[in-house]
Amino acid sequence: MSALKKDNKLRILHVIAGMNRGGAETFVMNVFRAIDRNKFQFYFLCFSNKHFDYEDEIKQLGGEIIRIPDVKEVGIVSHIKAIKSVIKDNEINIVHAHTYYNSVFSLIAAKKAGVSTRIAHSHNTMSEVNPSLVKKIYFALSKLAIRHYATKRIACAKEAGYALFGRGNNFIIINNGIDLSSFSYKPAIRKDTRIELNIPQDATVLLNIARFQEVKNHTYLIDVFKEYIKIHPNSHLLLVGDGPLRNTIENKVRKLKLANCISFTGVRSDTEKIYNSADIFVMPSIFEGLPVVLIEAQANRLPCIVSDSIDHDVKINDNFNFLNIHLAPSEWATAIKLCKKRRGQKSHKLDKLYDIKNIVKQLASIYKEVL
């Protein structure tokens, strides 16, 4: 382990590929905002030259973004060497890898660099929707290597832990904590946000916050909404996020002539405000770990209807329903119609399990073990 510098800070390298507004990235940012930055120095190892959504805030808070080429660009050996150099150059004490199967590369580099605390953190239950045979072999080998090189195993939920580490292996569950007060329901904001988004005040608003990629299942969501608007004409679908499939989904919406009642906001930095404008959160993902957005939605006391492929531990509030994505879209539409559209009571379980202050204490305790 590298010795502490004169500032006595523990230097932690978060290997996370990019710092845009994804689930794992948002979790790490929530931790970074809440942790004692006089004791912990965060570095973010990313594999892109693009400007990230969280980049400016990271720098303002005293963090550092370090960029190296992706493994696909330079190959495994050069990629591992580059990570090892980053660790050595910055005298890293702890490597905390969030890149699922690809975490194996940073863990090997950390081992070679003499880092004694090497954390593998699972944020998901799968990597791809339909992996090839070659990918399946790679995933299996990576899992074996991760179990060997990681000195600590963390998962956002049980199923995410089982997926990466196996059922017979120990891991710690660290919940995806958030700043609960930021996401509490604020009725006064509801009206103004709807005006800003050009949504009628009396409309029933369905909300989805997700990156536009296959796993998030936006195509199916549009089919669900097409059926829902038949039985509830005064409704609106609000889609927050960006991604490679956004143009495809926008084209589908235009072809179905639903553009007047579906809004695409792009990436928003104020999602805590957006939740207030909605009536129901809908998430038909093909797979997930334990999505931060579902914790945020429940902190806002929004009713939720989500895919039953999502870890059931995510359910905190009573007004939360799981549905199978293989059902006809009309069945989801009926379930949404029957859903109680009023916000329930605040759950004390939420405070206990997902308050970022408690999560930071857990992580800080793990980090301090290196001392």
% of the chain surpassing 90 pLDDT: 84
% of the chain surpassing 70 pLDDT: 99
Cβ(142)–Cβ(101) below 8 Å? yes
Secondary structure (DSSP) of 215-229? GG-HHHHHHHHHHHH
Q: Identify the band that residue 2 occupies on the pLDDT scale cut at 50, 70 and 90.
A: low
Nearest to 289, CA basis, from 267, 305, 313: 313
The pLDDT tens digits for 228-241 are 999 999 999 999 99
Mean pLDDT within 288-310: 94
Q: Would you say how long the chain is, in residues?
A: 371
Cβ(319)–Cβ(340) below 8 Å? yes
The pLDDT tens digits for 127-161 are 777 788 888 898 889 999 999 999 999 999 999 99
In what helix (H) or strand (E) does residue 151 lie, and over which residues does it extend? none
Distance CA 255, CA 222 (A): 11
What region, left, alpha or beta, does residue 160 occupy, with left being phi > 0 and alpha being psi -120 to 50 degrees? alpha
- Statement: residue 169 has pLDDT above 80: no
More confident residue, 170 or 3: 170
Cβ(119)–Cβ(97) below 8 Å? yes
DSSP-assigned beta bridge partners for residue 235: 204
The pLDDT tens digits for 79-117 are 999 999 999 999 999 999 999 999 999 999 999 999 999
Which pLDDT score, from 0 to 100, does residue 6 have? Answer: 61
Cβ(69)–Cβ(81) below 8 Å? no
Average pLDDT, the chain: 93
Who's near 221: CB < 8 A, 6+ residues apart?
208, 237, 282, 284
Mean pLDDT within 312-327: 94
- Statement: residue 1 has pLDDT above 70: no
Give the chain's radius of gyration (CA, Å).
21
Task: Output the CA angle 336-324-320, nearest 5 degrees.
Answer: 50
User: Strand order of the sheet with strand 172-173?
Assistant: 64-67, 40-46, 10-17, 94-97, 117-122, 152-155, 172-173
Which pLDDT score, from 0 to 100, does residue 26 have? Answer: 94
Which pLDDT score, from 0 to 100, does residue 371 have? Answer: 76
DSSP-assigned beta bridge partners for residue 153: 120
Which pLDDT score, from 0 to 100, does residue 225 have? Answer: 98
pTM for this structure? 0.89
- Statement: residue 345 has pLDDT above 90: no
Which pLDDT score, from 0 to 100, does residue 344 have? Answer: 77
Cβ(120)–Cβ(98) below 8 Å? no
Kindly report the backbone phi and psi dihedral angles of residue 133, in degrees, each rounded to the nearest multiple of 5, phi listed first. Answer: -60, -40
What region, left, alpha or beta, does residue 167 occupy, with left being phi > 0 and alpha being psi -120 to 50 degrees? alpha
Beta strand pairing call for 117-122 and 152-155: parallel
